[in-house]
Amino acid sequence: MALAQQSASLALDGGDPRLNAGDVVPAKNFSRRDVSFEEYMYYAAITRAEEKVANEKFIQARGPRSLKTIVQARFSKGHTGALPATPNESAGEKSENDNTVTRSVQTRQYVTPEEEKTASRAVRTAGWGTIFYLITTDILGPTSAPWAFAQMGYGPAFALYTVFGLLSYYSGWVIWKVFLGLDSDRYPLRGYGDFFYRLFGPPARHFVNVTLSLQLLLVVSVLILLNGQSISQISRGPVGDRTGLCFVVCLLIYMVVGFLLGQIRTLQRLGWLANAAVWMTVGMILLCMGTVGYGPNYAAVEASFGLERAPIRTFAGTPPAGYTSGTGFVASLNGLNAAVFAYGGCMLFAALLAEMRHPMDFWKGLLIAQIFIYAAYVFFGAFMYSFQGQFAYNPSQQGIVLYSAQTAANILSILSALIASVLYSNIGLKVVYIEIFHELLGFPPLTTRRGKLWWAFLIPVYWILAFIIASAVPAFSYVVGLQSALFTLSFTYTLPACVALGYWVRKDAMVEGEERFDPSTRTYNYVDRGFARLRRGFMKKPLFNLANIIYILGATVTCGLGCYSAIVSLIDAFARGSANSLSCVPPL
């Protein structure tokens, strides 16, 4: 259940996952308009060199590792630091997290370079082992894998999970390399939008952040729908008829609990809950595997996809018509959407890198996590498909026929997803508030009393919007498919390729020996500008840059095909009557 794990792990080490040092204010305070690409690179090189020396000293001082020290390090709270007080700083400008201080552009001039370095390093405590754990909990969630196998068959499913796993690793590698080239103690890179600000300017950052906020709103909608279905299943009892709680009421219950918990703004004390959410998901997966022998949930599959009870069949290749939730081509694309969604975690990599003591080690955690995640997806997907065949359900815990196990799995799903929902709504609303309400409409900062009142008002509005989307389109698999094609695919595949193209063309256009950045005047002596410069940068690595263009085009085509299959399937679901807006009848 990847959508229920993404972002949740950002709270694992304590502290608000939305708030790093200085992160309360808009990103422009860290990425000022007068900072050039070359200046970012200049200070990033200095920071990387200092980190290398600091890491060597850290390893020497730490001494040999033991199981005890590893466990103690994993469960320690870590250390965060605050920017030093400035003459213009008032008590009202501090957030509820005492280690986070809001800065304005005017007060930044009082901070010395050494103070900036100290504040930046103070929040960077994670090692690559921690990053492996965070990436795994962000992305791992194989409950859609059995359904994906049922739509595509063994061969195509193995192939697509392998291809998208490799591509997602490449995207993570790009994010890592560009982060190393642009992040510094002076200009820390905190989020996904910062890449686009530094490479393409403010409009690109606004577009990415607004798109991210829309994605998070849809993810909250998906979680409301998923857990509304779980509440509905529990309410119907072991008989499994459709006379339990009204389905809209089930969605309302989850929505109300969600926006009440969403009033928590700092989330600092949810770290242990996010950790528990991971083990809840593991328990849910084990329940699915342990009870799969009782047979599939035929009633749920028939209600959602129109497949009537028949002998269980599995296929090495693409299943024929009648053995999938749609026609062959559309069903395969729906399975592709599930595979795409499985690896959707790139949007969080910048935040994870910003927490690392030695970011150059990120590739280790990324590689091991990707291998582990890939193995979990293909094993669980193939295992469940072998027993349930065309009747594999998405999510898999709702396809369990044994009511006691189904109820236990649904409860685990509700609890773990509720934690993720709170995190998603907080992150999503914060992006919207800063990008639109604060920057464009002049609303007060969230750390002020008026800002807190606006937050208390807007959180219910945010959840109500998510509820309207969920209740209007109650077809879980296809809503997830549409969200995957529109947003997850873009953030995991398309946008990293754009970052790679923009970064390496500009980097390779720099002429070593003839061009130089002067830190005293903050100027760079360009030998040329315009098209000639871009052409030189492109031709330095023509095959690499061409591959990224093909990657962008391929991801865009896949996005279009994914949207097409999800929309066609949604239309078919409404035509069959398995999905009805604002209906008391559950869709499973």
The reported pLDDT for the residue numbered 326 is: 65
Confidence of residue 73 (pLDDT cuts 50, 70, 90): low
Say how far apart CA 164 and CA 345 lie, in whole Å: 12
Q: Is the pLDDT of residue 355 over 50?
A: yes
pLDDT average, residue stretch 91-119: 42
- Residues 174-212 have pLDDT tens digits of 999 999 999 998 888 877 888 999 999 988 988 888 888
Per DSSP, 397 falls in state G
Among 114-118, 393-397, 450-454, which is the least confidently predicted range? 114-118
Confidence of residue 302 (pLDDT cuts 50, 70, 90): confident
Quickly name the fold that domain 122-474 has. Sodium/glucose cotransporter (1.20.1730)
pLDDT average, residue stretch 215-244: 76
pLDDT average, residue stretch 223-236: 83
Assigned token pair, 124: 């960077």
Pairwise pLDDT comparison (56 vs 290), residue with the higher score: 290
Say how far apart CA 261 and CA 350 lie, in whole Å: 26
Per DSSP, 515 falls in state B
Say how far apart CA 46 and CA 448 lie, in whole Å: 36
- Residues 234-258 have pLDDT tens digits of 887 665 555 678 888 888 888 888 8
Say how far apart CA 100 and CA 119 lie, in whole Å: 10
- Residues 253-277 have pLDDT tens digits of 888 888 787 766 554 445 556 567 6
Q: Is the pLDDT of residue 548 over 90?
A: yes
Return the SS3 of 462: helix
Assigned token pair, 51: 């980190």
Q: Is the pLDDT of residue 98 over 90?
A: no
The reported pLDDT for the residue numbered 20 is: 37
10 Å CB burial of residue 458 (0-12, 13-18, 19+) is: middle
Interior CA angle at 153 toward 369 and 303, to 5°?
100
pLDDT average, residue stretch 155-174: 92
Pairwise pLDDT comparison (242 vs 545), residue with the higher score: 545
Return the SS3 of 296: strand
pLDDT average, residue stretch 494-519: 92
Side chain identity, residue 105: V
Say how far apart CA 564 and CA 505 lie, in whole Å: 33
pTM, full prediction: 0.76
The reported pLDDT for the residue numbered 33 is: 63
The reported pLDDT for the residue numbered 66 is: 57
